[in-house]
Structure 1
Amino acid sequence: MTRSQSQPAGGVTPVSRRVMNLSHFLRQAARRHGGRIGLAWGERRWTWAELDRRVDAMAAALAARGVTKGDRVLVQSKNCNQMFESMFACFRIGAVWTPANFRQTPGEVAYLARASGARAMICQADFPEHAAAARAEAPGLGLTIAIGAAGFGEDYGALVQAHLGESVPVADVEHDDPCWFFFTSGTTGKPKAAVLTHGQMAFVVTSHLCDLMPGTTEADASLVVAPLSHGAGIHQLVQTARGAKTVLLVQERFDVEEAWRLVETWRITNLFTVPTIVKLLTEHPAVDAYDHSSLRYVIYAGAPMYREDQKHALAKLGKVLVQYFGLGEVTGNITVLPPALHEPEDGPGVKVGTCGFERTGMQVTIQDPEGRELPPGETGEICVCGPAVFAGYYDNPEANAKAFRNGWFVTGDVGHLDAEGFLYITGRASDMYISGGSNIYPREIEEKILAHEAVVEVAVLGVPDRAWGEVGVAVCVLRPEASLSEPELLAWLQGRVARYKLPKRVIFWDSLPKSAYGKITKKDIRQALAARGELPAGTTAD
């Protein structure tokens, strides 16, 4: 489950690597800023002191029902105060927080319950089928707690009320004790549980404060526009470490105008999201209707932002964009491109297309498939080492063997470094296709297509072809009222893209499928192309 640890040098006898239990972040905020608002959701407010007491109560309730250190607690919930609290309650007793994306199906959540070996489940009342499926699939899941009025499990609110004023000893933890099972999206198979630890996550929080949002204090406020189950949960943990308040959207469905209204109301200083959401936020008329001058950091990750979208966002918001590159397995900590390096116009010295330089304490290398380091400018696999790298995948030695090579974590992304150490991502290794013997990386072609004024979104993918091995297909979404044909776009690409890289087909859809985190999902596009019969002649679906 864990990566190998090197032996201490100099003959020093290994000793316990005890570290701070992450729930201490909340205790610190309650001690120093107890009367300040820590969390806001609609008309409701909770101070740091109230949150700490509620977390103590839920931790006591879990402990009284037999949940102990190392037990996994599956959480199926939309963003809410109980979702926020459940993280710290699990940490406090040494249990492992195991959140599911609330948009997953009952069968998918049941798989997570079984794969994680969950002992308990906290489930919002909106998801009775998920609770039933998880109990049926995971025989060790003996405790269910319901958030809200439900026909299953014990009531979360009643448990908190019953145990208010109680506390349990904060669990002693060592560096590699797990605190969070961070499930991957499963775009290339079943989701895997990346094991995040107390020691690793303490470094991640420190690095985020250092690299992504320096100067963050209790006077700041963060808006949550993504599920707390994944990246947004990490960012709210960072806010807690500095006593900065977290503000949740009221609506379940992402509402751009509500987001900008909350930015103005709460004087939001930072938010975390993905490029597609930044695009929605900055292209909506509400961006000009509300005061967003308080924003200092609009942090985006999950994919590099296309240059045209980046320019537009900078024109609307100013130099507040922060990009980081990372995966759940490295908890975002690979590279950073800070606001000062987000230039609104191309020109001499501007590094267009980079996702930044190495994060503090982290090292990046570009390797060939045999693990040999490649020089600047050469494309290969992006590999990383450092304290932010996870402990490994839970109960999955085969996946661990593939993920680590000579101590480096192999990200699965392809790119190159320049002479100054700035990283450029070409795409996922799985996205690359070979046409006529030439390696083709879709991202380069997508960037060119998005420079056309009529195109708002695009995905390029390789499909099998009897003559060429594979050929490219570009699926485009046009701006409202725009008009563009396949021959027109292909003619426009002539001279902008090498001839051998030109897509064989260009197809126009009203929208592209996206994951629960706002990422374009090429797996779903591929399936839809086959189902619609839109694959080029001579190609096959797989």
Structure 2
Amino acid sequence: MPDATTMDALVRSRAAAHGDKPAVIDPGTRISYAALEASSRELAAILVQAGVGKGTRVGLIMPNGVDWVRTAVAVTRIGAVLVPLSTLLTPPELRAQLRVAAVQFLIGVEEFRGRRYLDGLYAAPALDLPALQHVWSTRRLASAPAGAGPARVLDALAASVTPSDPMLIMFTSGSSGPPKGVLHSHGSALGAVASGLAARCIDADTRLYLPMPFFWVGGFGGGVLSALLAGATLITEEIPKPETTLGLLESERVTLFRGWPDQAQALARHSGTTDLSALRPGSLEALLPPALRAEPGARANLFGMTESFGPYCGYAADTDLPRSAWGSCGKPFEGMEVRIVYLETAVPVPTGMIGMIQLRGPHILRGICGRTREATFTADGYYPTGDLGRLDHDGFLYYHGRSDDMFKVSGATVYPGEVEKALLAIDGVTAAFVTNVPDGEQARVGAAVAGDALTIGQLHERARALLSAFKVPTVWLLVAGPDAIPRGPTGKVDTRRLQEMLANQQRRERI
């Protein structure tokens, strides 16, 4: 998309093309494309007057909504580097991420869901957060007067931004370990999102509901930037609840629901007489009528990571895969090179063999905070993802879990992702989380499972029909839902704490 290589070019182009069309809607506010361009420009002028310029690192901590989008657009269109921060962060975690990303200017709500974020930061000790110069509440930002001087230089400042300039630092982590600050440029982020729009089934006629937090790549890339690039309408809310979400889906005539499968299933149970007839294939299928649903395994799950700025592999979400590729993640998107290598030697494996996935191309990360290029990429420019996968002869990618999660049982390799996939194929299972449970010198397969009216005996029996004997979990824990699973600040499962939960269950079974 030649008109969308920087955020400023994108928002100007979409305002010219779509004008009064709603760009973002939340339960209390809606903003058109023209108003988003104008109001983000006014906000950018306030930021420039306050000392924000090209390259300034600006942290943003607030819940989903129109204001989040307007602020993010204002920051990035003038070349400042956006640092989205999780509303789930504790004070120590927040300070750690501010330090890693060298945030200079912080904008945030003072409180959300009982968490106070800005307390103690207005006078942050210089040795603790040496880069932090300004802390503004969203109330202060909303009431700040714009000066004429900064407004006059705004166009020149925005025009100086190039696709190769840094656009944002987004935090991610593996299943354990401290979060990483992943740096993307305007070109890499916008290019990555544009390459996956067709697979996401997002176009200018789409009315997209997305509950994922905008501080994660699934929310910012899959929601905000996807809608802006396509000229679609994005509908979101601060705190998704069945009653409010269903109301939005009906009143806003949402055509595409992207989110978490367990959320869709919960909504389906509460939907009652809600009119969801506007939803189209490509949405999560629990909310679609049976005639519009695909067979299990027929549709690809878009696959990616923060380092690739979301999915780098997929297939049209409303279209069945070729039968031979059922269960795959689809094919790599244009502009992305994928190779599979041996874990020990990093030499490419034969087609069809499982190994570690490496990525190269214009849409991958530009770097990681505090890490050298040599420590981030291979000598020939590939990024080692840590994910396990295989490519078949037709180029379809199959995911087999994380290389740091795989473990041995009686000398045989177990991939937790493979076991989780099998468990999710059992009728009634809505979520499954698998890891190893130490048992003396050995390891056992442990699974925490959420589902409807299932017993451990039933789960074990059905798993035996789907998995080799050594892969069948021998430590089971029934949980109420995904919220019962411990997670880190970036939302990923905390494997160490999950192992502790399963180990406690193992001890209870032996008492």
Same fold (TM over 0.5): yes
Q: How many angstroms apart in 2 are the aligned matches of 1:493 and 1:246?
A: 39
Instruction: Give the alignment partner of residue 45 of structure 1, picking from 22, 25, 30.
Output: 30
SS at match of 1:209: helix
Q: How many angstroms apart in 2 are the aligned matches of 1:337 and 1:485?
A: 35
Once the two structures are superposed, what CA deviation does each residue of 1:204-234 show, in whole Å capped at 9, x if it has no partner?
Answer: 23213344336x12x4322231111122112
Q: How many angstroms apart in 2 are the aligned matches of 1:202 and 1:209?
A: 11
CA displacement at 1:523 relative to structure 2: 3.6
SS at match of 2:398: strand
- Name the counterpart of 1:503: 473
CA displacement at 1:336 relative to structure 2: 0.6
Q: CA 1:339–1:199 in structure 2 vs 1: closer, same or farther (change >3 Å)?
A: closer
Q: How many angstroms apart in 1 are the aligned matches of 2:149 and 2:450?
A: 53
Instruction: Give the alignment partner of residue 129 of structure 2, picking from 129, 138, 150.
Output: 138
- Name the counterpart of 1:431: 405
SS at match of 2:368: coil
Q: How many angstroms apart in 1 are the aligned matches of 2:232 and 2:411?
A: 53
Q: How many angstroms apart in 2 are the aligned matches of 1:412 and 1:330?
A: 13
Alignment gaps of 5+ in structure 2: none
Give the residue type in structure 1 aligned to 2:387.
D
SS at match of 2:302: strand
The question of 1:327 aligning with 2:305 is answered yes
- Would the aligned equivalents of 1:22 and 1:91 in 2 still touch at CA under 8 Å? yes
SS at match of 2:497: helix
Once the two structures are superposed, what CA deviation does each residue of 1:495-520 show, in whole Å capped at 9, x if it has no partner?
Answer: 53222223232233334416478765
Q: CA 1:314–1:521 in structure 2 vs 1: closer, same or farther (change >3 Å)?
A: farther
- Name the counterpart of 1:349: 323
Q: How many angstroms apart in 2 are the aligned matches of 1:492 and 1:33?
A: 52
SS at match of 1:334: strand
SS at match of 2:117: helix
Q: CA 1:52–1:274 in structure 2 vs 1: closer, same or farther (change >3 Å)?
A: same
The question of 1:232 aligning with 2:202 is answered no
- Would the aligned equivalents of 1:221 and 1:269 in 2 still touch at CA under 8 Å? yes
CA displacement at 1:257 relative to structure 2: 3.7
TM-score normalised according to structure 2 size: 0.86
Q: How many angstroms apart in 1 are the aligned matches of 2:266 and 2:24?
A: 25
- Would the aligned equivalents of 1:322 and 1:336 in 2 still touch at CA under 8 Å? yes
Once the two structures are superposed, what CA deviation does each residue of 1:72-98 show, in whole Å capped at 9, x if it has no partner?
Answer: 001110112221111111112211000
Q: How many angstroms apart in 1 are the aligned matches of 2:148 and 2:27?
A: 26
- Name the counterpart of 2:364: 389
- Would the aligned equivalents of 1:184 and 1:191 in 2 still touch at CA under 8 Å? yes
CA displacement at 1:43 relative to structure 2: 4.0
- Name the counterpart of 1:422: 396
- Would the aligned equivalents of 1:381 and 1:414 in 2 still touch at CA under 8 Å? yes
- Would the aligned equivalents of 1:222 and 1:247 in 2 still touch at CA under 8 Å? yes
Q: How many angstroms apart in 1 are the aligned matches of 2:435 and 2:62?
A: 34
CA displacement at 1:522 relative to structure 2: 3.3
Instruction: Give the alignment partner of residue 340 of structure 2, picking from 347, 356, 366.
Output: 366
Give the residue type in structure 2 aligned to 1:172.
S
SS at match of 2:240: coil
The equivalences for 1:216-231 within 5 A come to 216-217=203-204, 219-230=205-216, 231=218
Q: CA 1:432–1:145 in structure 2 vs 1: closer, same or farther (change >3 Å)?
A: same
Bigger shift: residues 24-33 or 488-497: 488-497
CA displacement at 1:377 relative to structure 2: 2.0
SS at match of 2:498: helix
Once the two structures are superposed, what CA deviation does each residue of 1:289-330 show, in whole Å capped at 9, x if it has no partner?
Answer: 32233435337xxxxxxxxxx789683753697631110100
CA displacement at 1:124 relative to structure 2: 0.8
- Name the counterpart of 1:318: 293
Q: How many angstroms apart in 2 are the aligned matches of 1:247 and 1:495?
A: 42
Give the residue type in structure 1 aligned to 2:372.
P
Instruction: Give the alignment partner of residue 456 of structure 1, picking from 425, 430, 440.
Output: 430
Give the residue type in structure 2 aligned to 1:507.
L
Q: How many angstroms apart in 2 are the aligned matches of 1:313 and 1:430?
A: 36
Q: How many angstroms apart in 2 are the aligned matches of 1:312 and 1:444?
A: 26
Q: How many angstroms apart in 2 are the aligned matches of 1:239 and 1:198?
A: 16
- Name the counterpart of 1:196: 184
Q: How many angstroms apart in 2 are the aligned matches of 1:261 and 1:316?
A: 23
CA displacement at 1:197 relative to structure 2: 0.0
Q: CA 1:454–1:50 in structure 2 vs 1: closer, same or farther (change >3 Å)?
A: closer
Q: How many angstroms apart in 2 are the aligned matches of 1:311 and 1:255?
A: 16
Q: How many angstroms apart in 1 are the aligned matches of 2:335 and 2:116?
A: 44
CA displacement at 1:183 relative to structure 2: 0.8
Instruction: Give the alignment partner of residue 337 of structure 1, picking from 301, 311, 315.
Output: 315
Q: How many angstroms apart in 1 are the aligned matches of 2:445 and 2:230?
A: 47
The equivalences for 1:80-479 within 5 A come to 80-126=65-111, 129-135=116-122, 136=124, 137-148=128-139, 155-159=140-144, 166=151, 168-169=154-155, 170-185=158-173, 187-213=175-201, 216-217=203-204, 219-230=205-216, 231-234=218-221, 235-249=223-237, 252-281=238-267, 283-286=268-271, 289-298=274-283, 315=290, 317-318=292-293, 323-342=301-320, 349=323, 351-369=325-343, 370-397=345-372, 401=375, 404=378, 406-468=380-442, 470-479=443-452
The question of 1:79 aligning with 2:60 is answered no
Q: How many angstroms apart in 2 are the aligned matches of 1:388 and 1:517?
A: 21
Q: How many angstroms apart in 1 are the aligned matches of 2:291 and 2:107?
A: 41
Bigger shift: residues 102-111 or 334-343: 334-343
- Name the counterpart of 2:44: 59
Q: How many angstroms apart in 2 are the aligned matches of 1:436 and 1:213?
A: 44
CA displacement at 1:174 relative to structure 2: 3.1
Q: CA 1:342–1:527 in structure 2 vs 1: closer, same or farther (change >3 Å)?
A: farther
Q: CA 1:363–1:536 in structure 2 vs 1: closer, same or farther (change >3 Å)?
A: farther
SS at match of 2:353: coil
Give the residue type in structure 2 aligned to 1:475.
A
- Name the counterpart of 1:304: none
SS at match of 1:297: coil
Q: How many angstroms apart in 1 are the aligned matches of 2:486 and 2:272?
A: 23
Q: CA 1:436–1:186 in structure 2 vs 1: closer, same or farther (change >3 Å)?
A: closer
CA displacement at 1:471 relative to structure 2: 1.8
Identity of aligned residues (%): 24
Q: CA 1:316–1:241 in structure 2 vs 1: closer, same or farther (change >3 Å)?
A: same
Q: CA 1:41–1:48 in structure 2 vs 1: closer, same or farther (change >3 Å)?
A: same
Q: CA 1:36–1:29 in structure 2 vs 1: closer, same or farther (change >3 Å)?
A: same
- Name the counterpart of 2:455: 484
Alignment gaps of 5+ in structure 1: 1-17, 149-154, 300-309
Q: CA 1:340–1:123 in structure 2 vs 1: closer, same or farther (change >3 Å)?
A: closer
Q: How many angstroms apart in 1 are the aligned matches of 2:110 and 2:89?
A: 15
